[in-house]
Amino acid sequence: MRSQTIEVVTGSRERVHDITSECESFVRSCGGDGLLNVFVPHATAGVALLELGSGSDDDLLAALEALLPADDRWRHAHGSRGHGRSHVMPALIPPYATVPVLSGRLALGTWQSIAVVDLNVDNLERQVRLSFLSD
């Protein structure tokens, strides 16, 4: 298995950050067929496969705001207002995704991208571990 860690700057706002190109570069360097596992080792971030750039990323953030409002209801209450919701989000958007790789290329659907979803405005940077398991 080959593995690499990349740094992602999500900044001080809620964000859906596209990492598809970094994932493509990594699997190209590995070559062949296998599986790419994308893992965010953080308690307040997730990995999603979805269409980006068409408004879906904003729709996702709006849906998460409706499901997990940034208010004072959360028992996990350190950090910025509503921070506890960031700790609940990975139960809905897990911190990992696995994507098939065929001939050194991601086998994503036509409109699928790989994104880090981060509601935590207190952490500006995230690490993402990319692991390739060849067949």
Per-residue pLDDT of the chain (135 residues; tens, 9 = 90+): 999 999 999 888 999 999 999 999 999 999 999 999 999 999 999 999 999 989 999 999 999 999 999 888 888 777 788 788 999 999 999 999 999 999 999 999 999 999 999 999 888 899 999 999 998
- What is residue 101's predicted lDDT score, i.e. its pLDDT? 98
Closest C-alpha among 6, 98, 80, 89 to residue 43: 89
CB 36 within 8 A of CB 106: yes
Give the Å distances, CA to CA, from 51 to 4, 46, 59, 73, 103: 25, 16, 11, 31, 23
Q: How far apart are CA 29 and CA 3, in angstroms?
A: 11
Amino acid at 93: I
Closest C-alpha among 8, 11, 67, 65 to residue 40: 8
pTM attached to this predicted model: 0.93
Amino acid at 103: S
Q: How far apart are CA 23 and CA 99, in angstroms?
A: 10
